[in-house]
């Protein structure tokens, strides 16, 4: 994780609710493991349910071992494993080498790049007893022969099926690179290994990798250099290069565990020199990381449909302007849909006098999509942010964040992290394949301080869609698509439809938590609580389903480990081999985020 995404309290990690120190966190996980093991048939009952809360992740891993990949025709290519042991404690390197010796495939060799001191330590005797392992402490170590290359750090323990899965994925898809999921663990005498905090990736996500969330292990179909030292380099850079140069496969299997100091060793005397042994591997950010955006001067049209509720609208405009780095770059267009209140009329007069916003009349029955299209057409700014009138901006410099994200041509839309007034999450991206309607807000109802699984709620990453309560696009893309579908999706679901059409163009939808706002959801129009409102919404949802079909059940960014048909990222389950291979194949396709229309 990048430095700016780490907690400012350097020794704080683990549960935000209790703010336990690392040792206490692992002791708590150990207590849970002991409690479950003491209950007769607890493991079988949990396994039979096929659904585990994240708090029971350690039990999930005990109940459900990693299955081997399907057999491929012919032998698998040989694999060279490069182990980065610079600065590593010997016990960490030992754990990695032992996990290599336990692999289900034997056609591998390992080069350990280590300091001169480590090459003279007892752990170097692995090279004397296993001819597949060699140690090198100079920059002259050279890779020889063909085959796949696997990059890993000392202290990462590989599942016995790890190398087999990497080889099968690369051979099956012809991808340039492959990566998998990992978790964090400590050795324990009774349970051998306690595991927590899985990092479950989706399809290749450049924004997430740039944010510092890199896989623990990376496999390459060919070495980028004959120099072992050059190949090891930075896994994030190697993965980014592979993503630019070719196709990248994601294997939805937790086949690596990043170790930290065993509990039994924490009572011992600390070494004089710092090493990875004392590092906490489960740090989480306490808040969304500020976006490192370069100041830009792009004009931004801010389109706000409204009816009455002048107080809400005034707060939205005031906070959007006060939190912008350059409020004068904002062309705020208020689309007034038949307001009749004196409060709204007074606000419109003030806006006209102050020249802080323009009011465009919309004298028609309510149609959010049509109103938004009208507002977009009233400005010629190259960027457009569609914002609900019940949004209260919190993030300073949000205008730079929007302009910076949309300066990348592959980004089609940008969404914000939205909170309810009670400081719980309202929106952290839209996930497909969850909830009764097939699309559901991630993080809905969790405390704002909860970073989410794998810190997902506080990291910029690609998502299937974002809500129209705050949705920013480039005008050129919006015009190319002819705006929102005002003919069929008048009130709801047109935001999801627009995101799908942008993805159809090969664009990426970004969730950007550095843009944070309070959303007083439904304050103007109300929520869908009556039978008539629910029935209307269902009619529009069916129109969306007619157009996109199975695309609404397929979320490339969410691992098949997460159980569907529930709220997003709530329960873990073991995917079938068919689901695993389908995800591998889609992730390694030329455009894994590109949806396919129904029919």
1 has pLDDT over 70: no
What values do phi and psi take at 12, rounded to 5? Answer: -100, 130
| pLDDT number for residue 21 | 63
Least confident of 56-65, 239-248, 260-269, 387-396: 260-269
Q: Which of 36-40, 126-130, 272-276, 280-284 has the highest mean pLDDT?
A: 126-130
| pLDDT number for residue 139 | 63
Least confident of 125-134, 162-171, 247-256, 517-526: 517-526
- Ordered by where they begin, the domains of the chain are 45-278 (3.90.550.10), 300-571 (3.90.550.10)
**Residue at token pair 């049509």:** 370
Q: Residue 121 to residues 113, 225, 508: CA-CA distances in angstroms?
A: 13, 29, 49
| pLDDT number for residue 41 | 42
- Interval 32-45 mean pLDDT: 53
What three-state secondary structure class fits 353? helix
**Residue at token pair 């003279």:** 120
CB 405 within 8 A of CB 416: no
User: Of residues 37 and 547, which shows the higher confidence score?
Assistant: 547
Mean pLDDT estimate for the chain:
87
Least confident of 57-71, 173-187, 308-322, 545-559: 57-71
548 has pLDDT over 90: yes
| pLDDT number for residue 528 | 63
- Interval 65-84 mean pLDDT: 90
Dihedral sign of CA atoms 30, 17, 7, 206 in order: positive
pLDDT grade for 231, boundaries at 50, 70 and 90: confident
Enclosing H/E stretch for 431: strand 430-434
What values do phi and psi take at 235, rounded to 5? Answer: -60, -35
- Interval 478-500 mean pLDDT: 97
Looking at the chain, the whole-number percentage of residues with pLDDT higher than 70 is 86
What three-state secondary structure class fits 534? helix
382 has pLDDT over 90: yes
Task: Pull the structure tokens for residue 471.
Answer: 């949705």
pLDDT grade for 223, boundaries at 50, 70 and 90: confident
Q: Residue 432 to residues 429, 529, 555, 556, 568: CA-CA distances in angstroms?
A: 10, 23, 5, 9, 9
- Interval 158-173 mean pLDDT: 97
Q: Residue 104 to residues 74, 152, 164, 583: CA-CA distances in angstroms?
A: 16, 18, 7, 23
- Interval 341-362 mean pLDDT: 97
180-196 tens-digit pLDDT: 999 999 988 887 899 99
Least confident of 103-107, 214-218, 469-473, 531-535: 531-535
Least confident of 31-35, 122-126, 242-246, 531-535: 31-35
Looking at the chain, the whole-number percentage of residues with pLDDT higher than 90 is 70
- Interval 469-497 mean pLDDT: 97
Chain Cα centroid distance, residue 446: 17
pLDDT grade for 522, boundaries at 50, 70 and 90: low
456 has pLDDT over 70: yes
HEC readout, 51-115:
CEEHHHHHHHHHHCCCCCCCCCCCCCCCEEEEEECCCCCHHHHHHHHHHHHCCCCCCEEEEEECC
| pLDDT number for residue 337 | 97
| pLDDT number for residue 305 | 97
| pLDDT number for residue 534 | 86
pLDDT grade for 146, boundaries at 50, 70 and 90: low
pLDDT grade for 44, boundaries at 50, 70 and 90: very low
Task: Pull the structure tokens for residue 171.
Answer: 């051979």
Alpha-carbon distance 136 to 398, whole Å?
49
pLDDT grade for 13, boundaries at 50, 70 and 90: very low
243-296 tens-digit pLDDT: 887 899 999 999 999 999 887 777 777 765 544 444 444 444 556 655 555 567
């Amino acid at each position: 994780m990048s430095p700016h995404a780490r907690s400012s309290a350097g020794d704080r990690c683990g549960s935000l609710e209790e703010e336990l120190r690392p040792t206490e966190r692992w002791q708590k996980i150990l207590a849970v493991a002991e409690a479950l093991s003491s209950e007769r048939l607890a493991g079988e009952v949990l396994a039979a349910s096929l659904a585990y809360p994240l708090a029971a992740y350690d039990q999930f891993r005990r109940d459900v071992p990693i299955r081997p990949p399907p057999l491929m025709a012919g032998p698998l290519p040989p694999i060279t494993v490069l182990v980065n042991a610079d600065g590593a404690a010997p016990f960490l390197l030992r754990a990695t080498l032992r996990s290599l010796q336990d692999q289900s495939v034997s056609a591998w060799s390992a080069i350990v790049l280590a300091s001169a001191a480590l090459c003279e330590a007892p752990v170097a005797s692995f090279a004397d007893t296993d001819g597949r392992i060699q140690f090198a402490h100079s920059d002259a170590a050279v890779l020889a022969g063909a085959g796949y290359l696997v990059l890993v750090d000392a202290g990462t323990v590989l599942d016995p099926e790890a190398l087999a899965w990497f080889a099968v994925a690369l051979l099956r898809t012809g991808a340039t690179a492959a990566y998998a999921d990992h978790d964090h663990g400590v050795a324990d005498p009774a349970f051998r290994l306690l595991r927590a905090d899985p990092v479950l990736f989706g399809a290749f996500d450049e924004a997430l990798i740039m944010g510092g969330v890199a896989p623990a292990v990376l496999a390459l179909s060919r070495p980028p250099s004959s120099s072992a030292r050059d190949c090891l380099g930075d896994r994030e850079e190697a993965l980014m290069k592979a993503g630019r140069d070719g196709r990248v496969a994601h294997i939805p299997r937790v086949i690596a565990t990043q170790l930290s100091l065993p509990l039994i060793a924490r009572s011992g005397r600390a070494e004089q020199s710092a090493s990875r042994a004392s590092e906490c591997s489960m740090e989480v950010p306490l808040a969304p990381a500020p976006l490192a955006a370069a100041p830009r001067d792009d004009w931004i049209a801010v389109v706000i449909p409204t009816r009455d509720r002048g107080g809400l609208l005034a707060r939205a405009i005031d906070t959007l302007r006060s939190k912008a780095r350059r409020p004068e770059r904002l062309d705020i267009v208020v689309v007034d849909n038949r307001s009749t209140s004196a409060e709204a009329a007074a606000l419109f007069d003030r806006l006209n006098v102050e020249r802080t916003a323009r009011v465009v009349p919309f004298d028609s029955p309510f149609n959010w999509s049509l109103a938004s299209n009208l507002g977009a057409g009233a400005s010629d700014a190259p960027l457009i942010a569609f914002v609900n009138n019940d949004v209260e901006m919190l993030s300073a410099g949000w205008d730079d964040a929007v302009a910076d994200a949309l300066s990348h041509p592959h980004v089609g839309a940008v969404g914000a992290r939205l909170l309810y007034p009670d400081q719980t999450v309202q929106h952290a991206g839209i996930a497909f394949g969850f909830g009764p309607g097939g699309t559901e807000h991630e993080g809905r109802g969790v405390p704002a301080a909860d970073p989410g699984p794998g810190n997902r709620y506080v990291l910029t990453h690609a998502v299937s869609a974002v809500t129209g309560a705050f949705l920013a696009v480039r005008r050129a893309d919006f015009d190319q698509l002819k705006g929102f579908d005002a003919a069929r999706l008048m009130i709801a679901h047109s935001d999801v439809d627009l995101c799908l059409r942008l993805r159809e163009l090969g664009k990426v939808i970004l969730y950007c938590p550095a843009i944070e706002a309070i959303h007083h959801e439904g304050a103007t129009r109300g929520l869908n609580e009556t039978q008539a409102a629910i029935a209307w919404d269902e009619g529009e949802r069916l129109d969306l389903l007619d157009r996109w079909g199975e695309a609404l059940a397929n979320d490339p960014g969410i691992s098949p480990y997460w159980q569907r048909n529930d709220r997003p990222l709530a329960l873990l389950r073991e995917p079938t081999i068919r689901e695993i291979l389908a995800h591998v194949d889609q992730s390694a396709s030329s455009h894994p985020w590109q949806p396919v229309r129904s029919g």
